Structure formats: structure tokens, C-alpha cells
Amino acid sequence: MDDKLVFRAFLYAVLVISVNAQPWNTYIPCNTTTDCLLDLCCRDAEGNLPWGEGGGFPDDVIVVGGTCWYGPSKPGTICSQQCGCGAGYTCYKTITGACCPPTTCWDAKEAAKDKKYWDKCFEDPKCPLPP
């Protein structure tokens, strides 16, 4: 067994017994979440998921990797079904005038209110959609 595999196995064992829900960095490099061990998510320095994870498109054609993190996405950061949000937050994509925004962590009550607004708006032909 090589040292990298042993280190990853050790980190996974620590994760399994950890009860701390705060995100923490393993410093294992990655380009996507599939590069990380189970229950870890690839995040950039700001805590966002890279390369279109969360339904958005990459900002540019440069590969921007990150490191594997344990824990939920922080409020306002890009999230996905696999790399969800902490308690009281939900992974949500609002309606915007721009194409294809990613899902981000919203306060669950605010997301429900926003969804209700847009559901009602789509039923009303006079409701203005965002430019």
C-alpha cells in the first residue's frame, strides 16, 4: 500500500467517527467531487464546488481545482445533491434572467418563499419574468 492510500484511509476513518458538522479541509487536491473519498466534496478556496457541480457552467475554460472538504456547504456557496447544505439551509436555484445559475445554499424559509413566489408568477401571464 502506498503512503497516499494509507493517508486517505486514515482520513476516512477519522471522518466516520467525527461528530463535528463544521466543514474542514483535508488538503487532498481534487478537480471534482468524484476525486474525493465518500462523504467529502471538492471545494475551491471560497467553499464553492468547482467545474459546474451544482448545475451551473464553469466560469471559464481554465481547470480550477480545489481540495477535498468534509462537511456541508456554507450559506451562499454552490451546492449539489451530494454536497448539500447545513441545518436550516437548502440547496436551491432561483429564477434569474441569466442562463443557468448554479444551486446555492439558501435559508430554507427564504427558498420556500421564493419558490412559492415563482410558482404563483408562472400561473399569472401578467407576471414579469426577470430580464
- For the segment 41-66, what is each residue's pLDDT rounded down to a tens digit? 998 888 888 766 666 555 544 456 78
Domain boundaries, the chain: 3-123
Q: Quote the mean pLDDT of the chain.
A: 79
User: Residues 103-107: what's their mean pLDDT?
Assistant: 93
116-124 contacts at long range (C-beta below 8 A, 24 or more positions apart): 118/94
The closest alpha carbon to 115, from 91, 131, 98, belongs to 91
Measured CA to CA, the distance from residue 114 to residue 95 in angstroms comes to 9
| pLDDT on residue 99 | 75
Phi-psi region of 76 (alpha: psi -120 to 50; beta: other; left: phi over 0): left
| pLDDT on residue 61 | 44
Measured CA to CA, the distance from residue 88 to residue 18 in angstroms comes to 21
pTM metric for this prediction? 0.69
